[in-house]
Amino acid sequence: MPQEANQVSAPAPARQVRIELADRSYDILIGADLLGSAHSYAGLPRASTALIVSNTEVAPLYAARLQAALASAYAKVLLVTLPDGEAHKDWPTLQLIFDALLQNNCDRKTVLFALGGGVVGDMAGFAAASYMRGVPFVQIPSTLLAQVDSSVGGKTAINHPLGKNMIGAFYQPQRVICDLDLLKTLPARELSAGLAEVIKYGPIADMDFFSWIESHIDALRAADSVALAHAVKRSCEIKTLVVGQDEREAGLRAILNFGHTFGHAIESGMGYGAWLHGEGVACGMVMAAELSQRLGLVEVAFVARLRRLIALAGLPTVGPLLSQIDNAGRYLELMRVDKKAEAGEIKFVVIDRPGSARVQSAPDALVRQVIDACCVPL
């Protein structure tokens, strides 16, 4: 993995990462100026209608450009604009997509295009999986977090008040188009949130990549196109390798949830939208690393190194207080709703050595110690 100091140069041409899933295989395109290029959409399923699913923040910026690019391939290009934010990742908002499909007499060949961040991608994907028992869809992620994680691998879902992403389906897109130019309008907080998912790939799979992130964190936070291109490509390479071996999370794929068990508890406990998903994951990674250390799997120095990088990325490293009465108990209650839990036993992704992860349980008493050590009052 290259370790050169931060250098700004012309971005490389569009790159392609292939995810191999037999007849569900597809390409991830990574590069600049992909959104408006008809070439980006060549070879997609033919249909008379395309439906763009976006939100109130992204649609005004990019929907017209996508509509123009699709006009030559589809007789009718529709747009449905959803309210923005994790708080709207729910049944009523999902119904807006179904309303648009049904009101426009969309058939089962209709292609959905998810233009937005992780929330839009998850909801458009779930709608595509459900409408007429399945229609094709394409991911066009507009955030760093979505480009490096949520748009790849076919997880689609909505939230329930009792748990995040508890209602959904595994349903693969036809293609993922990562246009790096879309990141230019991304607020700094959202960019940092995306970096959490980039950082995640180091401890679970590639410590050389982790070292590269450390040496390029300033360029990444400055949205340097060359640094972002490499970060997106390497993140997608790691994720496709994992998903290609375990599409439906029967085992190995669960390591991609490093930091997510604690992080989802934070998101749910704080109220969806109070913390961004990447912020919850960042803090959750610190907690999971601390748990790994207390289980005797990694050294204290590794936890400190991870905490330092997360802080340099502009992300939280200290967990919020979710209860004034029994904070650790509230975390445990929320984590028992996690999808990895089995018969009420919480499963954690822990680092068994830097660059390698596994899933295991841990005694509640030890988890309480970790939560107490990693949280402070609001």
Q: Is 31 among the domain residues?
A: yes
Same domain, 299 and 341: yes
Q: Which CATH number does the domain housing residue 96 bear? A: 3.40.50.1970
Range 86-115 average pLDDT:
97
Distance of CA 305 to CAs 196, 317, 348, Å?
A: 14, 12, 20
How many domains is the chain partitioned into structurally?
2
Amino acid 11: pLDDT:
44
Same domain, 273 and 336: yes
Range 277-285 average pLDDT:
97
Range of the domain at 270: 189-222+258-374
Tell me if 193 sits within 8 A of 119, measured CB to CB: no
Q: Is 233 among the domain residues?
A: no
Is 230 labeled as catalytic in the residue annotation? Answer: no
Q: Is 248 among the domain residues?
A: no
Q: Which candidate in 237, 249, 267, 290 is catalytic? A: 249
pLDDT at 164 over 60: yes
Tell me if 53 sits within 8 A of 114, measured CB to CB: yes
Same domain, 28 and 133: yes
Amino acid 239: pLDDT:
96
Amino acid 342: pLDDT:
77
- Would the CA dihedral through 65, 185, 58, 155 be positive or negative? positive
Is 253 labeled as catalytic in the residue annotation? Answer: yes
Same domain, 53 and 124: yes
pLDDT at 270 over 80: yes
Is 189 labeled as catalytic in the residue annotation? Answer: no
Q: Is 352 among the domain residues?
A: yes
The pLDDT tens digits for 167-212 are: 999 999 999 999 999 999 999 999 999 999 999 999 999 999 999 9
Amino acid 7: pLDDT:
44
pLDDT at 29 over 90: yes
Amino acid 14: pLDDT:
79
Q: Which candidate in 88, 233, 260, 305 is catalytic? A: 260
pLDDT at 5 over 80: no
Range 292-304 average pLDDT:
98
Confidence of residue 13 (pLDDT cuts 50, 70, 90): low
Rounded to an integer, what is the distance from CA 143 to the centroid of its chain?
9
Amino acid 126: pLDDT:
98
Q: Which candidate in 200, 234, 239, 339 is catalytic? A: 239
Same domain, 194 and 311: yes
The pLDDT tens digits for 184-193 are: 999 999 999 9
Same domain, 300 and 326: yes
Q: Is 245 among the domain residues?
A: no
Q: Is 241 among the domain residues?
A: no
Same domain, 26 and 98: yes
Q: Which candidate in 88, 175, 253, 294 is catalytic? A: 253
Same domain, 44 and 84: yes
Confidence of residue 222 (pLDDT cuts 50, 70, 90): very high
Is 249 labeled as catalytic in the residue annotation? Answer: yes
Q: Which CATH number does the domain housing residue 355 bear? A: 1.20.1090.10
Which residues, at least 6 apart from 103, have a Cβ–Cβ distance to it below 8 Å? Answer: none
Please identify, among 159, 185, 211, the residue that sits at the C-terminal boundary of a domain: 185
Amino acid 377: pLDDT:
60
Q: Which candidate in 89, 216, 277, 347 is catalytic? A: 277
Same domain, 197 and 162: no
Tell me if 208 sits within 8 A of 1, measured CB to CB: yes
Q: Is 93 among the domain residues?
A: yes
Q: How far apart are CA 322 and CA 336, in angstroms?
A: 15
Range 202-230 average pLDDT:
97
Amino acid 376: pLDDT:
77
Same domain, 35 and 88: yes
Q: Is 149 among the domain residues?
A: yes
